[in-house]
């Protein structure tokens, strides 16, 4: 996915990410032979093997654990009253063996997947309301973006804390970031994982600054009151300036040092509002109200148009840098397009649960081959009730590879444990709690956040009750 931006607002943010029946087990050797045969006879071998592998990974995934972010006493003395209230999960991030869950109230809790206990709360002062989380893999730390009652929740404050400190239950061992910046509304901070950069905007002096995500040093600043928006894509930034009648001035800058690579004007229909301007590498996407989508190659000015009847303005984009494609979200549906303006994929059995395209309920794998989403169950089964389903689909084919649904097996009533062999032959035991309040059907109701841990092959979901559920093999 592309980077994520957190804007200033006086209130906590309202959100931003299997089989019907178990199939009989077959002999492992025969199964492996069949997979290899499918791989060899397919014209696109890697894709076929990848799909088969994905189906295996998610075949027996089920509800294993439940964590609760709510503490009626509050996370520390003198805590703000609304931080003591139970509220829905709006964001989940996993790093190493820790799951971080952020509630809409502004409380953020860290849970250990090794002990299945809550380690600590990330709020280090009684009046801290955490707005968003970002895992910085460059230095194995978690960045929290918060507002505080002491300044009337008016400006964003960032803090970085090493994962190792959090694991020891020391969330206050971190340090503040970007203290020189005044991030009051409409200021923002944007974390760009692709380029390893942070973009901040200080509204009071109209200055954008770019920082290195590895060590947080400032690289350069952009001071121009006519800049209306900045879009980031791999290696470059697009500066969109104030519209001038029949055109909009644009500049493309190097993300590394701010050097201007190209400056040009893009012609517009004078009396039509601009729905969006997006940049992806050398491609510029421009859409005006009731007009065709324009895809401009900024290197040679080659223009491609897509009929407004075929491409209607989406509510959100996700650019797939690895595949040179982009996802669009509109009316609970997802589609995949290429930069020739062609529809590549429409997904089968994939009606998103939330109409507002909350991307916290969507996860794209790092290989950009799978999308994991919270969807309508699309079933008349009375066991489904009001539950949705977690769908795992192939992005390039649109095929639904696996699905977690309410009529999957329920968790066992008794405590159970499993063993695995660690380094040096040491046996590690993991106990699973028997006190899971929710059934599978209940855990699949009102999912408000979703995250997939690719290393552990586990899906984490949060719901309106402030509970986090672990779906694992």
What is the per-residue pLDDT across 139-166, written as a single tens digit (0 to 9) for each? 999 999 999 998 888 899 999 999 999 9
- The owner of tokens 């639904």 is 400
How far from 194 is each of 212, 219, 270, 366, 395, CA to CA, in Å?
Answer: 12, 16, 35, 11, 20
Q: Is the pLDDT of residue 33 over 60?
A: no
In a 3-state reduction of DSSP, which class is residue 76?
Answer: coil
Average pLDDT over residues 456-472: 95
Name the CA radius of gyration of the chain, rounded.
Answer: 23
Q: What is the pTM of this model?
A: 0.83
- The owner of tokens 């029949």 is 246
Which helix (H) or strand (E) segment is 55 a member of? Answer: helix 45-57
Residues with Cβ within 8 Å of residue 115, at least 6 apart in sequence: none
How far from 7 is each of 184, 187, 202, CA to CA, in Å?
Answer: 9, 6, 11
Which helix (H) or strand (E) segment is 120 a member of? Answer: strand 118-121
Average pLDDT over residues 240-261: 94
Residue pair 324/395 in contact (Cβ under 8 Å)? The answer is no
Query: What burial letters (b/e) apply to 359-373, b meaning 16+ CB within 10 Å?
Result: bbbbbbeeebbbbbb
Average pLDDT over residues 383-406: 87
Residues with Cβ within 8 Å of residue 135, at least 6 apart in sequence: 93, 94, 95, 141, 142, 143
- Neighbour count for residue 187 (Cβ, 10 Å): 21
Q: Alpha-carbon distance 358 to 361, whole Å?
A: 6
Q: How confident is the model at residue 471 (pLDDT cuts 50, 70, 90)?
A: very high
In a 3-state reduction of DSSP, which class is residue 151?
Answer: helix
Which of 410, 445, 473 has its CA nearest to residue 461? 445
Q: Alpha-carbon distance 329 to 352, whole Å?
A: 9
Per-residue model confidence (pLDDT) at position 190: 94
Bridge partner residues of 283 (DSSP): 280, 297
Per-residue model confidence (pLDDT) at position 357: 66
* Percentage above 70 pLDDT, the chain: 81
Q: Which residue has the higher pLDDT, 392 or 348?
A: 392
- The owner of tokens 């409409």 is 186
Q: Alpha-carbon distance 427 to 429, whole Å?
A: 7
Half-sphere exposure of residue 53: CA atoms within 13 angstroms, side-chain side:
11
Per-residue model confidence (pLDDT) at position 5: 59
Residue pair 363/17 in contact (Cβ under 8 Å)? The answer is yes
C-alpha dihedral over 405, 408, 414, 420, to 10 degrees?
-90
Residue pair 4/16 in contact (Cβ under 8 Å)? The answer is yes
Tokens, residue 243: 């519209």
Q: Is the pLDDT of residue 414 over 50?
A: no
Average pLDDT over residues 259-263: 95
Q: Which of 29-43, 279-293, 340-354 shows the lowest mean pLDDT across its residues?
A: 29-43
Which helix (H) or strand (E) segment is 165 a member of? Answer: helix 163-167
Q: Which of 41-55, 247-261, 265-279 shows the lowest mean pLDDT across its residues?
A: 41-55
In a 3-state reduction of DSSP, which class is residue 103?
Answer: strand
395 Cα distance to chain centroid: 16
Residue pair 301/321 in contact (Cβ under 8 Å)? The answer is no
Per-residue model confidence (pLDDT) at position 354: 85
Residue pair 462/448 in contact (Cβ under 8 Å)? The answer is yes
Sheet holding 447-453, edge to edge: 62-68, 467-472, 458-463, 447-453
Per-residue model confidence (pLDDT) at position 89: 96
Average pLDDT, the chain: 82
Q: Alpha-carbon distance 169 to 162, whole Å?
A: 11
The vertex-27 CA angle with 26 and 31, nearest 5°, equals 80
Bridge partner residues of 144 (DSSP): 133, 159
Q: Alpha-carbon distance 313 to 264, whole Å?
A: 24
């Amino acid at each position: 996915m592309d980077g994520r931006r957190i804007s200033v607002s006086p209130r906590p943010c309202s959100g931003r990410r299997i089989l019907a029946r178990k199939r009989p087990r077959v002999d492992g050797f025969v199964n492996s032979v069949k997979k290899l045969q499918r791989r060899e006879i397919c014209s696109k071998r890697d894709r076929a093997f990848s799909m088969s592998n994905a189906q295996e990974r998610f075949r027996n995934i089920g509800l294993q654990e439940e964590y609760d972010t709510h503490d009626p006493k509050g996370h520390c003395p003198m805590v703000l009253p609304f931080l003591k209230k139970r509220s829905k999960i709006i964001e989940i991030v996993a790093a190493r063996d820790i799951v971080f869950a952020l509630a809409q109230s502004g409380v953020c809790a860290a849970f250990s997947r090794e002990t299945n206990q809550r380690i600590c709360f990330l709020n280090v002062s009684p009046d801290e309301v955490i707005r968003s989380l970002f895992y910085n893999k460059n230095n194995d730390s978690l960045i929290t973006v918060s507002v505080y009652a002491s300044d009337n929740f008016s400006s964003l404050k960032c803090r970085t804390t090493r994962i190792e400190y959090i694991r020891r239950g020391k969330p206050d061992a971190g340090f503040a970031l970007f203290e020189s910046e005044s991030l009051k509304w409409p200021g923002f901070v944007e974390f760009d994982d692709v380029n390893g950069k942070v973009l901040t905007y200080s509204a009071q002096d109209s200055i954008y600054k770019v920082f290195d995500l590895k060590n947080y040093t400032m690289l350069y600043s952009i001071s121009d009151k006519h800049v209306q928006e900045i879009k980031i894509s791999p290696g470059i930034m697009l500066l969109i300036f104030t519209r001038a009648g029949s055109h909009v001035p644009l500049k493309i800058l190097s993300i590394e040092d701010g050097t201007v690579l190209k400056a040009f004007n893009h012609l517009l229909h004078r009396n039509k509002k601009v729905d969006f301007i997006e940049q992806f590498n050398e491609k510029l996407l421009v859409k005006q109200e009731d007009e065709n989508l324009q895809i401009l190659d900024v290197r040679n000015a080659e223009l491609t148009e897509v009929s407004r009847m075929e491409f209607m303005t989406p509510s959100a984009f996700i650019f797939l840098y690895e595949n040179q494609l982009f996802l669009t979200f509109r009316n609970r549906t997802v589609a995949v397009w290429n930069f020739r303006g062609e529809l590549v994929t429409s997904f089968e059995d994939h009606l998103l649960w939330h109409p507002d395209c909350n991307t916290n309920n969507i996860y794209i794998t790092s290989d950009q081959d799978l999308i994991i989403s919270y969807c309508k169950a699309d079933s008349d089964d009375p066991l489904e009730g009001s539950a949705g389903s977690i769908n795992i689909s192939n992005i390039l084919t649109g095929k639904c590879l696996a699905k977690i649904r309410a009529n999957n097996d329920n968790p066992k009533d008794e405590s159970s444990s499993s063993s695995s062999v660690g380094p040096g032959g040491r046996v590690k035991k993991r106990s699973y709690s028997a006190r899971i309040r929710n059934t599978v059907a209940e855990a699949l109701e009102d999912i408000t956040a979703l995250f997939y841990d690719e290393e552990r092959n586990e899906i984490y979901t949060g719901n309106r009750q402030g509970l986090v559920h672990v779906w694992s093999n």
